Structure 1
Amino acid sequence: MDILALVERIGESPAAALFGLITGLIFGVSAQRSQFCLRAATVEFARGKLGPKVAVWFLTLSTGIVWVQAAQMLGFFRGADSRVMAVPGSWSGAIIGGTLFGIGMVLSRGCSGRLLVLASTGNLRSVVSGLIFAVTAQMSLHGLLSPLRDRLASLSITGSENVNLLHALHLPDGTGLALGLMFAALALYLAAKNQIGPKTWIFASGVGFSVAVGWVLTWQLAQMAFDPVPVTSVTFSGPSANTLMYFLDRNAILEFDVGLVPGVVLGAFAASMINGEFRWQSFDSVPVMRRSMIGAVLMGFGAMLAGGCAIGNGVTNSSVFAATAWLALFCMWMGAIVTTLIVDRQADPALAC
């Protein structure tokens, strides 16, 4: 793809939205086919199992790191230019926001990315929860909840920019790729142990690949754009809020985020239709609906406070070894595990999201 020729032909903003659409399509298809879900992995782990959901999650995380670190070593991308590394990180935001997000995704029976994928396959429960998540995220970014978010985030910050874990530990170049390969070996072992077929782990790798695609495309665009372009990739807190506002505000502009969410919807919808998996579904009961709505609010606020969702922190920002992303990911796991043990003991043992 000749990015410069494309930008000159259609403009910077439409090109950014197109790149978001491409990234979203890859993510949507891959996530739908692999059934990638952090919530399912944490629930499985809380029940003392290293089963197929944990294996799929490790496959996605590890391949995301491998793809991104390899792209960086080949000069297609520079992690230091990414939005998450260029701004101050919040230790307090990662801890509080990550924990709230972990609690919320168990209550909602899916993280924000998984809800978007499920909504695209006919799950009306996910449509409702996803809309509540997007509205809460927007309120936390610019609305009534933004002062509280700012106050909690400012309790402890990293400094003028985020902390790169590899640099902070004085590790040599190539360590990130080596760690990714080690995680990948563990993921493949778990996949083999749980008899996961090649198609599933290939699509799980595709989720990680979509993260690398987003990083590379936005970084390449930033190198040639006249106006500043955020170097970003797959996440669903900010993009959900921005996409919602794009359709509500006539003055909103096209950007990567606005292309990403529709791309995921189209990709997941197409994959479900092709494979005969599109099904209309709704809430099972009023208590389930109430619990899902509360969970969506916690996820929306938690994601904006933590600087990203289960995908944004758990794969995207972790792949460039942002310290706050790894801390937020750990807190998401802890929040989800504790919530599962406390309120989800009587849930259906089936881990479908």
Structure 2
Amino acid sequence: MPTLPVLAGFAIGAVFGVVGLLSGFCLMSSLRDWWTRDDGRRIRSYALAVAVAILGTQVVAAAGLIDITKSLYLQPSFSAPLIFIGGILFGLGMMLSNGCASRAVVLLGKGNLRSLAVLTIIGVTAQMTLKGLLAPARLAILQWTQMTPAANSMPALLDRLGLNGGTARIAAALSVGGVLLVFALSHRELRRSPGQMLAGLAMGSLVVAGWLATGWLGADDFDPVPVASLTFISPVADTLQFIMLSTGMTLNFGIALVAGVLVGSLLTALLTGRFAFEGYTSAGHTGRSMAGAALMGIGGAMAYGCSVGQGLTGLSTLALPSFIAVAGILVGAALALRGFAARPVFAAQ
């Protein structure tokens, strides 16, 4: 594995950890604030991050600096039902665990021991779904429902409708990114929250930086690096495996990213006096969190990503499967928030 992409992954992760801890950047808390407290600042910040990620990624791709068609998100064949169901499971899980995988890494850096349990379960269940006991079922569903559509992204779809490649890319990026920008910046409370605005700009920019780290710095015909950016389900699983079996593995961008987030969050927590050990408060709290972690690991593996992996990085490619995955995550989050969360065993603690 080339050194530069690994170092870049660690640096990108460190910035993610700093920004994530200071701003509370998280899709779960953003949706909860928006749906239950009528506070739209953080969801608008998330939308701003997606807009920046889309526009920046499409610019560097159009410039020929990276080839996003080699990424996981733009495969010619995919299973919409598998991805959508995986998204639902992930959405349910992040609400039950009170945070997604990336948020768990950030919180672990500030001493939240619940996050250690959540990340361990995510890593184990993701590996089970990708390569272990649950893999045959996942592969069977994939083979049964897999399709090869004429277009696998919004630019490709517009190209099929008559726009040429460059025009289709611009039209797709501006339509989706523009709508998200308007949604974010039209909110007066967000404009009055410079910290949340900076968080959105930073997180979106980190997605672009991740693409450049693997697709440009990592471009090597003799030792190619998978073209990827910010995502946490598979990297958390790989990190757990690396900790246990490091002699049989090599560092990669994803492992370095997770390590960087942890270090960035830890240093920020120590410097700002936010570091404090925290644990579970009851058996119900423990069961709710662990069940959510298992759903995130399984669902994230099925959906090829998490609220960051699909919600930011996947959408930045304008891949149709990513829109399906995000729709599933939103449905799952809504079901958890309006259904399971009201039951005593799942009550927030």
TM-score by structure 1 length? 0.88
Query: Does residue 76 of structure 2 align to residue 93 of structure 1?
Result: no
Structure 2 distance, partners of 1:90, 1:127, is 32
The 1:34/1:75 distance shift into structure 2, 3 A limit, reads farther
The 1:144/1:273 distance shift into structure 2, 3 A limit, reads same
2:333 is aligned to 336
1:263 is aligned to 260
1:320 is aligned to 317
Structure 2 distance, partners of 1:214, 1:115, is 20
**Root mean square deviation, CA, Å:** 2.3
Mapping 1:237-252, distance limit 5 Å: 237-249=233-245, 250-252=247-249
Does the 8 Å CA contact 1:139/1:145 hold for their aligned counterparts? yes
Does the 8 Å CA contact 2:184/2:190 hold for their aligned counterparts? no
The 10-residue stretch of structure 1 (282-291 or 164-173) with the greater mean CA deviation from structure 2: 164-173
1:335 CA displacement: 0.9
TM-score by structure 2 length? 0.89
Mapping 1:219-258, distance limit 5 Å: 219-249=215-245, 250-258=247-255
2:189 is aligned to 193
2:105 is aligned to 116
Structure 1 distance, partners of 2:314, 2:183, is 21
The 10-residue stretch of structure 1 (78-87 or 112-121) with the greater mean CA deviation from structure 2: 78-87
Structure 2 distance, partners of 1:161, 1:215, is 25
Q: 1:62 aligns with which of 39, 46, 51?
A: 51
Does the 8 Å CA contact 2:17/2:106 hold for their aligned counterparts? yes
Runs of 4+ in 1 over 4 A off after TM superposition: none
5+ residue gaps, structure 1: 1-11
The 1:120/1:158 distance shift into structure 2, 3 A limit, reads farther
The 1:181/1:70 distance shift into structure 2, 3 A limit, reads farther
Mapping 1:127-206, distance limit 5 Å: 127-159=116-148, 163-170=152-159, 172-178=168-174, 179-190=176-187, 192-194=188-190, 196-206=192-202
1:292 is aligned to 289
1:110 CA displacement: 0.5
Structure 2 distance, partners of 1:157, 1:221, is 33
Structure 2 distance, partners of 1:49, 1:283, is 28
Find the residue that maps to 1:235 and give its secondary structure. Answer: coil
1:328 CA displacement: 0.7
1:48 CA displacement: 7.1
* Paired letter, 1:173: R
Q: Indicate the percent of aligned positions where both proteins have the same amino acid.
A: 31
Does the 8 Å CA contact 1:89/1:161 hold for their aligned counterparts? no
1:83 is aligned to 72
5+ residue gaps, structure 2: none
